[in-house]
Structure 1
């Protein structure tokens, strides 16, 4: 059977109960500056929404219906709460513990987008894997390479009296290339390899901080990314098969994938399409593990889900938000010197915190519980 490699990441929100009602009532709250439970009949009538009052019998009943929908999206148990009634929870209680794969397009999107949820899943006993789909090597500045190469040379001198010819050769080659490099020149394969290793080390450091085991960290290095330039290669069956093999190995109960289509270079879209294509291949092959698996989509540094579409929202305390920041800061090459911060002058940890706090404030403004920050997800139906 031919593989479908032309998937586009479009989300079908038709499965969300009363989505139109939810959207209209939230918009009314934002317009009037009122929480859900304080909307009056006059508010509905004045804004052309009196049909909801007629359908439900009163404004109060409309308010309660929407309030309950929003309330049921909030959970401190993203992997499901064992031995609990899960009829109104976003995730099922069983099986417990769950095998989880978090797919991260670059080696930091996991902690930027859902670092609080990853820590919560680990703390609640789930078997969490993180799969980094690309090397992220073009997003490392030359000065980072110089730092590591000078360290290697000093290490060689200190502990081997400069006798390691491999370190001498490659450090000279890499540093020499960077010294000769002109603006606009592409990195050679050796420099790209070093940059990829830098990002691997940072990812391992962040995963270690979050309690992820070393053998649960997967570097997929999808081939489409390895063009050495911003413009990537087309996605092929090879990319999809790499992901499919990991899925077959782990047989997850939960999959988290990026759906941040505002990513300016399109890598997130291609990575997500590759995951969905792999899932589609497994579905066509009749994989049994898919019957007990759910796919949750997160967004990252560029945008957040609209609140009317959110199906699971994981709250964070001030301490948990600080722990998320600490994991993001493990990716040192992506701080001030990162090449692709874009027009937004905020660093990635600042964007993440602002976004998570904004989500929490919106829930608070609508009359729900007031948290420090929240991470949001939408379920993908396959």
Structure 2
């Protein structure tokens, strides 16, 4: 069973030589904009194995010389694949008994034996599974008195020096380019010290602590100078949510506003990333600027759109001079003139626009994104949370229903952790009042549950996990909102499916691994409906990872059906939507559904049915806009982009990319 197919979605079908140059000369050409040695791999597992190879080799080299191998290790989630690979190698015989580990940072202040401490996370993810000796594990102490921190940091530096210095520093990067806990503003000369954690880093760390309020305000961290003193350095980043900061670290200048950029000064540092994290590097997104480009339909479209934005002209106004002066003379040679190229790309983009997302009956569908037949299609919209469907493609759903397609909505997770306690209190007041008014207060189950929940909330600490009963009620609240939204869109309630995939039900922000049980639930629904269209989340930049796991579950189920020779797949198309966290790049868009002002208002009304996700929702992130505002802004921006390129002017548009299994 393939559980990571989302990592293989390479929308541009990037030629291999762009991310895996064949010769040193080719690499020099491709990476001319890059200031840090960067290796790109199509799969996370490949990158993890490359790093593990070096770590294993260094451990064995040190052991052969009768020495210790000193590692500085971070605790970011991006390091998990490497730790998992090293654990596999330990199980296959690799010993870590000569390894010395220095934890790169620790939260401050902490209670003694805090379960969420960085060192406990490192133990849980790696150290408890290998044979590193207890006396060889060193960490800053987050529980010491504040007056002792300076001396403690000095002693930590001396301990590193006493072990002969760091052989390998292995670190992830934060969204602001922080390494370890070195925030923007950190000095190149900084050593181990206490530092205030900024808001963005706190939000990332909230995955470990359950709530933002529980994340300590400070960290004791190795400094930039301490980390750069390592003989070798590896930075890692996976997924498109890190693509912007990766571009700054690799291609930007050295600046304390992006602390990881200081790694450019190291003489043996390597950045290991996957293709999604590399998606904004010049050699991937604008390859024509660094090499003789392999021109495909999507690459040509990307180049022409880039040129339009550069010279601020619509497509049909581009001239030969525009192409020649901006490094796109190859396209003139390919098409003969700017006019011929302009017409092709204009028509390509025009053909992505359709008011018939399910296909237009009795119409020539040669240049339409969707086929005309069957005229009425069975459709499944998979929604990771109980509101992603309407946030991301609410206008398209309404179109599909109005055009008489048989629409099913499948909510993959309960979404219960994203409901505030006050929502439960409000609903329990209602249930208790109902019991008093209409049942003479005789329902003992309601009375007991009301009392138990009231007592639980009175004693609940911010770090406490909700009881199963509270999580169930929170899930019911979201189910009710989802049903109301579906009814508003004209979807029968027997077409609304709550899958409650098990991986989500950890009760914490950090979820369980997605596995066979999740895939089988999705597969059963596919076999039941046998859809002609599937819509699935392609918004893999979701900061909490739920979208990616849900998409992996759907793709794994489809893959199993394909292997089993399911006939329904022969007449099924799979469309990926975005909208909650990002939008598709225009060169990748294959279907774009326009909305009138009235239709956009209908989408907004539908999103507002999810009242628990308004102002008081726990996970709005650092974007102050509410979800309906984010969705409208993105839909407006897509429409404005099409208009700026010289196409029709719509109020808003929802974009889709086709996935071919």
Pick the TM interval, shorter chain.
Answer: over 0.9
Q: How far did residue 183 of structure 1 move?
A: 1.3
CA distance in 2, matches of 1:90, 1:9: 25
* Per-residue CA distance 1:313-332 (angstroms, 9 max, x = gap): 00000000000000000000
CA distance in 2, matches of 1:59, 1:351: 37
Q: Which residue number corresponds to residue 77 of structure 1?
A: 356
Q: Tell whether 2:329 aligns with 1:331.
A: no
With normalisation by structure 1, the TM-score equals 0.98
Structure 2 counterparts to residues 200-349 of structure 1, below 5 A: 200-349=479-628
CA distance in 1, matches of 2:622, 2:7: 25
Structure 2 residue matching 1:323: 3-state secondary structure: helix
- Give the length in aligned residue pairs: 380
Q: Which residue number corresponds to residue 400 of structure 2?
A: 121
* Per-residue CA distance 1:196-243 (angstroms, 9 max, x = gap): 000000000000000110000000000000000001011111000000
With normalisation by structure 2, the TM-score equals 0.57
Structure 1 residue matching 2:458: 3-state secondary structure: helix
CA distance in 2, matches of 1:29, 1:15: 23
CA contact (8 A) 1:9 1:272 kept: no
Q: Which residue number corresponds to residue 650 of structure 2?
A: 371
Structure 2 residue matching 1:115: 3-state secondary structure: helix
CA distance in 1, matches of 2:575, 2:300: 23
Question: Structure 1 regions of 5+ residues with no counterpart?
Answer: none
CA distance in 1, matches of 2:548, 2:7: 7
CA distance in 2, matches of 1:171, 1:109: 31
Question: Structure 2 regions of 5+ residues with no counterpart?
Answer: 15-295
The structure 2 residue matched to 1:138, chosen from 409, 417, 441, is 417
Q: Tell whether 2:638 aligns with 1:359.
A: yes
Q: How far did residue 300 of structure 1 move?
A: 2.6
Stretches of 4+ aligned residues off by more than 6 angstroms: none
CA contact (8 A) 1:106 1:134 kept: yes
Q: How far did residue 14 of structure 1 move?
A: 5.1
CA distance in 2, matches of 1:132, 1:14: 29
Q: Which residue number corresponds to residue 34 of structure 1?
A: 313
CA distance in 2, matches of 1:10, 1:92: 26
CA distance in 2, matches of 1:195, 1:374: 32
Q: Tell whether 2:291 aligns with 1:12.
A: no
Q: Which has the larger radius of gyration?
A: 2
Answer with 161-170 or 305-314: which moved more: 161-170
* Per-residue CA distance 1:341-370 (angstroms, 9 max, x = gap): 000000000000000000000000000000
Q: How far did residue 125 of structure 1 move?
A: 0.4
Structure 1 residue matching 2:408: 3-state secondary structure: strand
* Per-residue CA distance 1:254-292 (angstroms, 9 max, x = gap): 000001111010000000000000000000000000000
Q: How far did residue 20 of structure 1 move?
A: 0.8
Q: Tell whether 2:381 aligns with 1:102.
A: yes
Q: Which residue number corresponds to residue 300 of structure 2?
A: 21
CA distance in 2, matches of 1:56, 1:280: 39
Q: Which structure's relative contact order is higher, taking Cα pairs within 8 Å and 6+ residues apart? A: 1
Q: How far did residue 193 of structure 1 move?
A: 0.3
Q: Which residue number corresponds to residue 149 of structure 1?
A: 428
CA distance in 2, matches of 1:283, 1:246: 15
CA distance in 2, matches of 1:105, 1:37: 40
Answer with 27-36 or 50-59: which moved more: 50-59
Structure 2 residue matching 1:148: 3-state secondary structure: helix
CA contact (8 A) 2:12 2:299 kept: no
CA contact (8 A) 2:533 2:573 kept: yes
